[in-house]
Amino acid sequence: MTKKQTIFSAIQPSGELHIGNYLGALKNFVELQDKYDCFFFIADYHSISGEYNPKEKSKQIFDLALDFLAIGLDPQKCTIAVQSQIPEHTELAWIFNTVTPLAELQRMTQFKDKSQNQDQNINMGLLDYPVLQAADILIYKAYGVPVGQDQIQHIELTRKIARFFNNKFGETFPEPKDLITKTPKIMSLIDPTKKMSKSHGKKSCIGINDEPEMIKKKMRKAVSTTEYNEDIYSFYASLLENFGTEKNKKYFLEQFKNKDIKFSELKDALAEDISNHFKDFREKRKELEKDPEKVKNILSEGAEKARVIAKKTMREVKEKVGVIMG
């Protein structure tokens, strides 16, 4: 039997996931766990480089673990862990700091954007963020990293960091590939020219954990138009495409073709289809929520498993860097 290739990805615990996050990441993770040796992480150390409330963080970590498990990530098939529970990640990030040119970090678009958005808190973590991300990936010598479009630059830098390290200390890290998920962008419920994002408020997103009543309410308030509008039409078309039943797809795509959409009918139908899509997820999540010990155990077992590999890589790295005395 040939060994499966390693996949690494992570999500920051910073609030509820929406259906855009689901299509862009989680849905894909669930499929990958059957084919690869997968590591799916909760990137808590990344998430504290932004503005946040320390009192909410541990619940956000727990909530993301619930989302991972309830959506179908199976700890028998993949490794689920919290980043801060494997201190070797930050240790490796320090070593990577010493081979990463400052200019590489300063030109990252996400760093520039975030510095603008939180101009009172441009901390070192914000700048160093991609180096920790590189450590996350390379410590497991991952072959592939499933990410959205916005992370490509960080994966590119990860490959450079692997090269910088290998050139200086000898061949150690393979260069990981980005596995871009080809999913249509899900747009905001209130502005179909913008991507669905928490930063535009809860009314603009459908949470994967929203109750059916809430989904219906949000859909009813979503954009509509009396004239043909390309953005609005494609917004609804992509929801239908991804969540609609065959019957609804057929029925409403006909309305689309004739440019005569009955929005109130379409919105209620979509609300129902989206609710049904996440029905099992909501039930499983409620069950798990009642058993926090079980969830915490899964996370610490995941960390233990991951740590065996992380420690091994760190030993190799320390030797090559020259900090282990013979």
Contact residues for 199 (Cβ-Cβ < 8 A; gap 6+): none
Burial (0-12, 13-18, 19+ Cβ within 10 Å), 48:
middle
Nearer to ligand TRP among residue 25 and residue 270 (C-beta): 25
CB of 46 within 8 A of CB of 132? yes
Of residues 74 through 133, those in contact with ligand TRP by CB under 6 A are: 133
Annotated catalytic residue: which of 57, 160, 185, 198?
Answer: 198
Rg (CA), the chain: 21
CA dist 81 and 40 (Å) reads 7
What x-and-dash track marks residues 146-175 binding ligand TRP by CB under 6 A? Answer: -x---x------------------------
Least distance between ligand TRP and beta carbon 132 (Å): 7
Residue 63 phi, psi dihedral angles, 5° rounding? -60, -40
User: 284 or 307, CB closer to ligand TRP?
Assistant: 307
320 classed as catalytic: no
- Residue closer to ligand TRP (CB basis): 88 or 136: 136
Tokens 């849905």 sit at which residue?
A: 27
Residue 178 bridge partners (DSSP): 145
In the bound complex, what is the minimum distance in angstroms from residue 21's beta carbon to ligand TRP? 9
Q: Is 218 a catalytic site residue?
A: no
The least CB distance from residue 281 to ligand TRP, in Å, is 21
Q: How far is the CB of 140 from ligand TRP (least distance, A)?
A: 10
Residue closer to ligand TRP by CB (options 133, 209) is 133
Sheet of 144-147, strand order: 79-82, 37-42, 6-11, 144-147, 177-180
Phi, psi for 241 (deg, rounded to 5): -55, -45
Q: Using CB under 6 A, which of 6, 7, 10, 216 touches ligand TRP?
A: 10
Residues numbered 128 to 147 that lie near ligand TRP (CB under 6 A) are 133, 136-137, 145, 147
CA dihedral 41, 42, 46, 47 (to 10 degrees): 160
Convert residues 32-51 into a mask of x (bound to ligand TRP by CB under 6 A) and - (unbound).
-----------x--x-----
Task: Indicate the residue type of 56.
Answer: E
The single residue listed with the structure tokens 């689901």 is 22
Give me 291's structure tokens: 């058993």
| Nearer to ligand TRP (CB atom), residue 39 or residue 62 | 39
Task: Please say if 202 is a catalytic residue.
Answer: no
Which residues form the interface with ligand TRP (CB under 6 A)?
Answer: 8-10, 12, 43, 46, 133, 136-137, 145, 147, 151
**Catalytic residue numbers?**
114, 195, 198
